[in-house]
Structure 1
Amino acid sequence: MKTTWLKTAIAIAAGALSTQALAAGFALNEQSISGMGTSFAGRSSAADDATTLFGNPAGMSRLKREEVSFGMAAIHAKTDIKHNSASYGSRLGRGSGTTSGSNDGDMVPTTAVPMGYYVKPLDDKWAIGVGIYVPFGLITDYEGGFQGRYFGDYSEVRVITVQPTVSYRFNEKLSIGFGPTINRIDGKLESAVPPLMGASDSRVKIEGDDTALGFNVGVLYEFTPHTRAGITYRSKVEYKLEGDTTISGDDPLIGVGAGPLSLDAYGKYDATLDLDTPESIDLSVTHELDEKWTLYAGAMFTRWSRLKSIVVENEGMGPAAAANFGTIAEEQDWHDTWSYAIGAAYKLNKQWTLRTGLAFDQSPTNNTHRSPRIPTGDRTAVSFGLAWNPTDDVTVDLAYSYLWEEDTKIRQNKSYANGAVQESYSSTYENSAHGFGAALSYRF
């Protein structure tokens, strides 16, 4: 019996392991609280503190003293789901009708994002440092009876990066920096599978992790003591996630209760997923207009078009199961994106500095393949920041960001058991998020 229902369910769950991380969900790119205050407009050229290790490693050469910086950002997201509908059609005894369920939204719990950096100038040319940050990470947890549960109802992904870094200053104008990145990814994805001959849903859960290497390299050029430009290249990272796929439930057709038609699919299987996260190029300019005002502008290109499809390999299945979903593929067809930002800082006095910024980010997803796991669209963000310097050794940074997205449409259809069962889900998402950040920097 040639079937596609479980094949599709696993592909959707496994595919989300990458796409949720890549899109960063509602994340606000929190690797720097000082940068957050200007919507990261000067990320590769500001070089104001130790967080430049991430923004542009060449900027470490501008720091005159040994410095450590620790911070935390909190993200509180809100989602309204409207214009929703879901239906099914079945030739296996269920007939057809409306798929029951709720659409509460607000499936992203408040999430904390930590970061820490250390930079030490060795002399007037060399500087070294190390950073620990979270480039991707989010939990999306829909309510148990979510109407779109067959297209994904739980996702948890974390990427933690450690970056040792070195920079060199050739002269008063030109600096370079380089840092390898050690990246740890882990995640868990769950989906419901509609009943075929049973009375209740089955479940598909995928868990996996991997550690992989990449690198960041940057160049900083100071045209004048008041104007500088930076460019940062962040490499792609090649992951091979290894874990397991667990299928559970009490449906006799999915399990072992329907004689020769049964797939005997319930159980735990070894799973692997190859994934390349794309490279990006970050450009920005910083101009100190006078003693009070500093202006920032930046743009970043990300090569999301690398993500054409997700391929999952499963092992340990019986012959019938392996023949249908030993190798699983799901099309993504993402496209390259640009993000843009402008910002400004105003120095009230020696102790206080105010910041603000505006950013626009394109979404790599498309209307054809967008699912409830990644219901994101193009977004706009406005940010405000405050820096307090009680002494020459200490800086406290605070930041707030608010982002909102264009209305995003979900239009999903799936077939199971060679078309014997069909499911559809349609809705419109209105997404927004608040970001709060605080950091402490100390110079020795």
Structure 2
Amino acid sequence: MKTTKSYKAHLLAATACGLLAALGLGQVAHASGFALKETSADALGDAFTGSEAKAYDASTAWFNPAGMALLDQNEVDGDVSYIGPSATFSGYNTNPLTGGTVRGVQGGNAVSPAASGALFGVFMLSPDWRLGLSVTAPYGERTSYPGDFVGRYQSLVSSITAVDFGVALSYKFNDHFSIGGGPVIEYFQARLTQALNVPTLSALTGQDPIADVHGDDVGVGYNIGGLYKIDDATRIGLDYHSRIRHDITGTQRITVPTIYSALSPATAALLEAGNSSATTSITMPDSVNLGIYHQITPAWAVMGSVQWTHWALLNSLHITPTNGYPGTSIVENWRNTWFVGAGTNYQLTDRIMLQAGFAYDESPVTDSNRTARVPDANHYDLGVGVQYKITPAATIEFAYGHVFTPGGSIKQTTSGLPTPSGTLIGNYSASDNSLTGGLTVKF
């Protein structure tokens, strides 16, 4: 028999299990893992390719601050995105406590639509110096399954919010070379809930305790880049976004069905005693981004990108209860990823520019480590956009993006309380559509 201390430790482990996965919330729009790339209508229209070298508007303050040297006026760019992903499970969950399968529904679309926004500004300090400001949401989404989901012992609700505030300076050495960079402050918040499969009581009552773990933190990193202009038609940009460490302080709360107190007061009390605060450390991945931009004719330009993201930093997570209970290590085995793509722009008239792009985005999740919280898979991104110059100083931008993904299989076993919560077996089908609108004003 487990001791009370061990029992509580397993309770904390069960509810915290998958917190790392909770930070990767399902089939995230146009990005691998749990990243969000919808920071700019101009970037979405090119399928996020070439942004390190294009430096077309103030969003370069985020994509590559060295590109600010190419802007010759003060400029503000605001963008709003609608992200409509879909991730649907089909399959079953084994129940080792009964020898059969978990009763419940398939869950429907697990990924909720979301809105995201970004704001950028670039300001002239001198002929060679620029100041850039950016507010972006690089990570964020929400997955939600109904309370009677067959995989409720693996996941119910998972959510993440991350907001980055960046300040950057750029300096132009000459007509060919510029550099830029500055600090990034990131606010990070995460929450997960899941059901607990309690021996006898869950099956007898048809009700499960619900565990809720959440926490937040502020971390600091940096963004640095360089831009080399080969000639008037061709330029290459290289940008590095640093990793950002978060020392998260969280709270675990367990909601116990009222009927548990009547049937087994000791079990109910033990569950409620599992309420605790806990801490963990998570490092958001760094990335290296290389882009090229080439103006073929005055009206026609092409661009491309190669990006590497250090997702293997999220290989494991250690949960440390603050009440002295033993900590728990959770292994995720994420891998580093590559993004490769190309785009094109065509200046149809003096006022209208058309955009298109296509890219391959590798996922850090493989068939062997896919979970109900992160049913991510390798995918292809398509982007199209149009920009209309209202006046010489104001341009509106609209872009549409679609993700093509084959989905993937899942075979997830999760530790429960105090015995395994079963193995979720099945497949996920997924897709994603997004719309972004932006307004750029020069002054």
Q: TM-score, normalised by structure 2?
A: 0.92
1:15 matches 2:20: yes
1:386-405 pair list within 5 angstroms: 386-405=386-405
Instruction: Name 1:136's counterpart in structure 2.
Output: 139
Instruction: Name 1:245's counterpart in structure 2.
Output: 252
CA distance 1:212–1:242, change in 2 (3 Å): same
Residues 256 and 271, structure 2, Cα contact 8 Å, conserved in 1: no
Residues 256 and 264, structure 1, Cα contact 8 Å, conserved in 2: no
| Cα offset, 1:42, TM superposition | 0.6
1:19-418 pair list within 5 angstroms: 19-20=24-25, 28-82=36-90, 84-90=91-97, 95-198=98-201, 199=205, 200-250=207-257, 257=264, 263-316=270-323, 322=325, 326-416=326-416
Unpaired stretches in structure 2, ≥5 consecutive residues: none
| Cα offset, 1:101, TM superposition | 1.1
Helix, strand or coil for the counterpart of 2:37?
A: coil
| Cα offset, 1:423, TM superposition | 1.2
Deviations 1:153-211 (A, max 9, x none): 10110000110110000000000000200100012110111131312211111110000
CA distance 1:129–1:422, change in 2 (3 Å): closer
| Cα offset, 1:252, TM superposition | 9.3
| Cα offset, 1:32, TM superposition | 1.4
| Cα offset, 1:86, TM superposition | 1.5
May I ask how many residue pairs the two structures share in their alignment?
431
What letter is aligned with 1:382? L
1:414-425 pair list within 5 angstroms: 414-416=414-416, 419=419, 422-425=421-424
Residues 82 and 434, structure 2, Cα contact 8 Å, conserved in 1: yes
- 107-116 vs 252-261, which deviates more? 252-261
1: distance between equivalents of 2:134 and 2:16?
A: 34
Unpaired stretches in structure 1, ≥5 consecutive residues: none
What letter is aligned with 1:272? T
Deviations 1:408-430 (A, max 9, x none): 111012354664x5512111111
What letter is aligned with 1:354? L
> What percentage of aligned pairs have identical amino acids?
27
What letter is aligned with 1:304? W
| Cα offset, 1:253, TM superposition | 9.0
Helix, strand or coil for the counterpart of 1:44?
A: helix
CA distance 1:332–1:207, change in 2 (3 Å): same
| Cα offset, 1:96, TM superposition | 2.2
Residues 88 and 110, structure 2, Cα contact 8 Å, conserved in 1: no
1: distance between equivalents of 2:262 and 2:177?
A: 65
Helix, strand or coil for the counterpart of 1:151?
A: coil
2: distance between equivalents of 1:34 and 1:7?
A: 45
1: distance between equivalents of 2:47 and 2:74?
A: 26
What letter is aligned with 2:429? E
Residues 297 and 341, structure 1, Cα contact 8 Å, conserved in 2: yes
Helix, strand or coil for the counterpart of 1:9?
A: helix
Residues 18 and 275, structure 1, Cα contact 8 Å, conserved in 2: no
Q: TM-score, normalised by structure 1?
A: 0.91
1: distance between equivalents of 2:227 and 2:351?
A: 27
Helix, strand or coil for the counterpart of 1:45?
A: helix
CA distance 1:394–1:414, change in 2 (3 Å): closer
Residues 174 and 221, structure 1, Cα contact 8 Å, conserved in 2: yes
